[in-house]
Amino acid sequence: MILIIWLSDWMIPIIILGIVIYGLLKNVNVYEAFIEGATDGLQVVFDILPTLIGLMMAVGILRSSGALEGVSRLIKPLISFSQFPSEVVPIALMRAFSSSAATGLILDIFKTYGPDSFIGRLVSIMFGCTETIFYTLSVYFMSVKIKNSRYTLVGALLATFIGITASYYLALWIFGI
Amino acid sequence: MLNYLWSFMIIFSILISGFSGGMREVTTSALSSAQGAVELCIKTAGIVALWMGIMRIAEKAGLIDALARKMTPLLDFLFPDVPREHAARKYIATNLIANFLGLGWAATPPGLKAMKELQKLNKGKSVASHAMCMFLIVNISCVQLLSINMISYRTSYGSANPTEIIAPCIIATLLSTLTAILFAKIMYRKER
C-alpha cells in the first residue's frame, strides 16, 4: 500500500530525471530537444481542440437531456449483482470503439462527480488500462488484408474485462468509496 | 464511426429534451460545454507540452531503440515462431516500447510495419498467424507507464492528487497484459 502511494508520487520525477541524465550521457542537447518537443506538444493540444469542443458539446447536451442517467438506470438492474457503478458502463463500452468519445464521457464524470470521487478515480484508472479495441484491430488487420482474426478479439476483450475489474477493485482497495 | 455516433448523440438528446421540455438546459449546456472545452485545452496544454518535451529528449537520445534491443528474451517467449534476426522483431519491439512510454504517435507506424513483416511469415494469407494474434492482444492490453492525458485532465478539474492513479493503473494494466499473454499462449497450444 505504502509502495503504491510512493510509486505514484515518484514516477514522474524519476522519469524526468532519468531521461534528462540519459540524454546528457548520449550527448543530446536536452534543452533544445525539450523545447522542440514542447512546441509540438502545444500543436497537438490545439489540434485536438475542435474534436474536444464537438464531443464535450454532444456529451453535455446528452447529460442535460437526462439520457445519460436514463441509460445508467437501465443498466443498473443488469449489473446489480456487483457494486460496479452503472454510470461507468457506457464509458467502458464507448472506450472499445472511440477513444475521444470515451474521453468526452470521462470529462463529464469529472465535471459531475469530481476527479477525486470514487467514480472519478475508477474511470481514471480504467482509461489508462484499456484500448480502442475495434479501431485498433480493424486498422492493423486491414493493413495486411487479414479476414480471419481467429482468437484476437476474444483475447482483447478478455484482457480489457480483466483490466476493468482490476481497476474497480484497486480503486476500492486503495481509495475506498 | 464518430460521424454516426456524434450525430446520434446530438439528435437523440435534442429530441428527448424536446419531449421532456428541457430545451433551455440543452442550450445552456451546449454553450457552456464548448466554452469548457477551450478552457480545458488551455489548462492541459502546459502539462502535455512538458511531457512531450521530456519524451522528445528520450527519442533523440535513442531510448526507444535501446529499450527495444533489451527485449530479446521477452520476444523469444512471446513469438517463438518469429526468427531472431527477422525484421518483424525490431518493429514489434519498437511498437511495444513506444506504447509503454505512452508515445502513441510513435507506436502506430512500426506496428503496421510489424504486421507487414509478420504477414511475410504467415502461411495462410487471409488468416491471422499466432504471432499476429499475440502481437495485437498484447498491443491492445498495452502496459503503459502513465497516461499523461488523464493526469492533465485530473489536474484541470482540480484533483488534490492527480498522479495518485499512476500505480493502480500500472497494476491493472499488468494484470490485463498477463491475462492476454496467458490466453494467447493457451490458444497457441490448443490450435497447434
Question: Does the structure show a pLDDT above 80 at B25?
Answer: yes
Give the pLDDT of residue A116.
96
Chain B hits for A109, Cβ within 8 Å: none
Paired residues of B127 in beta bridges: A148
How is chain B split into domains, by residue range? 22-191
| DSSP designation for A82 | S
Q: Do A7 and B167 touch (CB under 8 A)?
A: yes
Q: What is the ipTM of this complex?
A: 0.90
CA separation for the pair A23, A26 (Å, rounded): 5
Residue A2 C-alpha, separation from nearest chain B C-alpha, in angstroms: 11
Write the residue in A143, A149, A170 that is nearest to B171 by C-beta. Answer: A170
Give the pLDDT of residue B192.
65
Question: Residues A97-117: pLDDT tens digits?
Answer: 888 889 999 999 999 999 999
Chain B hits for A106, Cβ within 8 Å: 150, 153
Question: Does the structure show a pLDDT above 80 at A177?
Answer: no
Reported as half-sphere exposure (CB side, CA atoms, 13 A), residue A13 has a value of 5
Question: Residues A42-64: pLDDT tens digits?
Answer: 998 898 899 999 999 999 999 89
Chain A hits for B111, Cβ within 8 Å: 140
Q: Is B78 on the interface with A (CB under 8 A)?
A: no
Question: Residues A17-33: pLDDT tens digits?
Answer: 999 999 999 999 999 99
Question: Residues B68-110: pLDDT tens digits?
Answer: 889 999 999 999 999 988 999 999 999 999 888 888 778 889 9
Q: Which three cell numbers stand for residue B38?
A: 477551450
Q: Is B121 on the interface with A (CB under 8 A)?
A: no
Q: What is the mean pLDDT of residues B105-124?
A: 91
Q: Do B111 and A44 touch (CB under 8 A)?
A: no
pTM (two decimals):
0.90
pLDDT bracket for residue A146 (50, 70, 90): very high
Contact status, residue A110 vs residue B165, Cβ threshold 8 Å? no
Q: Is B58 on the interface with A (CB under 8 A)?
A: yes
**Single-letter code of the amino acid located at A136:** T
